[in-house]
Structure 1
């Protein structure tokens, strides 16, 4: 049983931060309850009982149906929720999106050597060029770096105009986009720019453009559940414009690992073939499937009375507004976007990571609250660095920090701000 609710019943007013002897340290940045390996395995045992899982899946249960296999039942449940014909559970999102690109690149019997994506795509930043080494494909990078906002560092999400310019560039050379580009990836939301979302009218225009040009439209939906709150749409309507969709189970849904790739029946038949070829068709996926299914039930279906993603976003919006209203905090940190679009946001600090971590330790020692757990340096080639920022962090609201009172965030951040040496630039 979590002691966080009890802690905040005992310490209802975080304004008494300087004098309250907290006997348990909290982390304001941790969205999910932290579990030991032993606790996680115990949870899996209980979830097997809750979900009626009484036997192992074997090599993906490809030959079974939803009545015979818990894995196929889970795949069908998610496919139905997203309005897709079929779904395939996979060990990782990297594998899932690589398989999606391979299938789209060979559609119609011809090889297309490229895929298009935003310049902050996970495939470009975090996969060691797997698209080239494994898929023999090259990216058509659609950058929005030249469209920095007035604040000097905020980058916009992918828009229709960006896509139109990129795809029409092939026409200048006498080629059709469909001869070169297999698929366009649209990430909902864009994680690397603070959870910003491509406007819905743009998504519809992008869909029409892709259909006209013979390019498949793929959704990187690693945080699709979070994005649904911004669009105010159910998942089926949200993914309707896309030919294929990838979702993750270990991010907002808190699973151990795992992903799912969704599309029509033919697409998923090919996906299962490629899953085998990639070595992802493990003898059993039970721990990951049960964990993912449990997270889906708990955090999307709110089985245990959990906060909805809309409520998490609302809480983050309140916290950010209150932090910006506090002069000390506002002179220490800047947020991107200015108002959260999902239950995640990026914060930028003028102090270095070393300075920030020392200040975090002081506040934690004094009050038993860890304001941030992970702080990263700002890349030197980025627009944020040019604006004078030296550190950044990501803040997502989940089950754990969602139970912490708003006032605690403000009080702890106010204490942290007083410990940081570098403040907002006054020469601009």
Structure 2
């Protein structure tokens, strides 16, 4: 049985939001379009998309924003232009940056910029890390929160120091805001407060928001116009962006309103996890509505336990698992969304009891 088939038969799913089937999603989109008299855009020109772009820009405090078919295209384009503007091809990235970990060396093979890794891979980089770089940087990219290290963020004081350092050094500061809305709940600050001091920002339309796909890049009018031209050059000029925009816009307000609720549920989950000492949690305290669980079993065994629990108890514990740094350890991610928010504590405990019992048998 495939992972998808196992997941489908589960009545209890810990991570994420309840997925909509294509039929459910398309029906909801059609109803929303009918209610709001939505027409297709043509190559990005249309009332809905342009209003939504400006809405994102206003929330983040930027002059304007533009839709991009993917965050992968948006980010390397933004950093390319930033480095051109500042006269240096060097862009500082955290070792766990999505660009370095998941994008198949696109920045290098497509000639966008030169990447310089900064900071410790297990922690957000600091202003001290940036200050120690002897080279002249064109750009710095900062992910908020940092998905690959459990959703960690710099402290607010550290974030403000990084902004000041980049401003004083005349370095373009770009935000990888794939999960920015989740950071806002953790910081207890508005998205605009967090984005203030950045020169550009990317946000996803599908991760926390739940749209079909797509992204927005925000910045000055001139910067965004140049980025849009580069999106066209790279094949991103799809004739209708309306399916992506509708799927995000129709639930955007509700998702943002629910982010504090997801964060409070994450805090409760941390309280519960204290009763399971074999599970090590990263970060040590909630910083966004996501976390990593470090397990004392191999990746292969973790996936085997997940599948056994799904088959025997119809409970889905987690999605992917990664190898841990030590032998016979693994790391799994939990994104706290609608599923956990509506789940009673005793159901969560049953799931964790099953996980820990299986791990103890392994030991």
TM-score, normalised via structure 2 length: 0.92
Q: CA deviation at 1:206?
A: 1.6
2:43 counterpart residue number: 59
Counterpart-to-counterpart distance in 2, 1:92 and 1:218: 16
Q: Does 2:87 match 1:142? A: no
1:124 counterpart residue number: 100
Gap regions ≥5 residues in structure 2: 1-8
Please identify, of 157-166 and 185-194, the stretch whose mean Cα deviation from structure 2 is larger.
157-166
> Which of 45, 49, 52 is 1:71 aligned to?
49
1:101 counterpart residue number: 79
2:346 counterpart residue number: 407
Q: CA deviation at 1:395?
A: 0.3
Q: CA deviation at 1:320?
A: 2.2
Q: Is the 8 A contact 2:294 2:332 kept in 1?
A: yes
Cα 1:26/1:316, change in 2 over 3 Å: farther
- How many residues align? The count is 355
Q: CA deviation at 1:157?
A: 1.1
Q: Is the 8 A contact 1:351 1:421 kept in 2?
A: no
Q: Does 2:318 match 1:318? A: no
1:42 counterpart residue number: 27
1:83 counterpart residue number: 61
When Rg is computed on C-alpha atoms for both structures, the one with the higher figure is 1
> Which of 291, 294, 309 is 2:259 aligned to?
309
1:418 counterpart residue number: 357
TM-score, normalised via structure 1 length: 0.79
Q: Does 2:160 match 1:160? A: no
Q: Is the 8 A contact 1:88 1:260 kept in 2?
A: yes
What do the CA deviations read for 1:283-323 (whole angstroms, capped 9, x no partner)? 111111111212322301x4xxxxx2122111122122212
1:398 counterpart residue number: 337
Q: CA deviation at 1:85?
A: 0.6
Q: Does 2:317 match 1:371? A: yes
Q: CA deviation at 1:351?
A: 1.2
Counterpart-to-counterpart distance in 2, 1:391 and 1:220: 26
Cα 1:95/1:405, change in 2 over 3 Å: same
Please identify, of 197-206 and 258-267, the stretch whose mean Cα deviation from structure 2 is larger.
197-206
Q: CA deviation at 1:269?
A: 1.4
Counterpart-to-counterpart distance in 2, 1:292 and 1:408: 31
1:233 counterpart residue number: 189
Q: CA RMSD in A?
A: 1.9
Please identify, of 338-347 and 44-53, the stretch whose mean Cα deviation from structure 2 is larger.
44-53
Counterpart-to-counterpart distance in 2, 1:354 and 1:125: 21
Q: Does 2:280 match 1:334? A: yes
Please identify, of 27-36 and 227-236, the stretch whose mean Cα deviation from structure 2 is larger.
27-36
SS at match of 1:420: helix
Counterpart-to-counterpart distance in 1, 2:16 and 2:24: 17
What do the CA deviations read for 1:95-118 (whole angstroms, capped 9, x no partner)? 11011112212216x4x2211111
1:254 counterpart residue number: 210
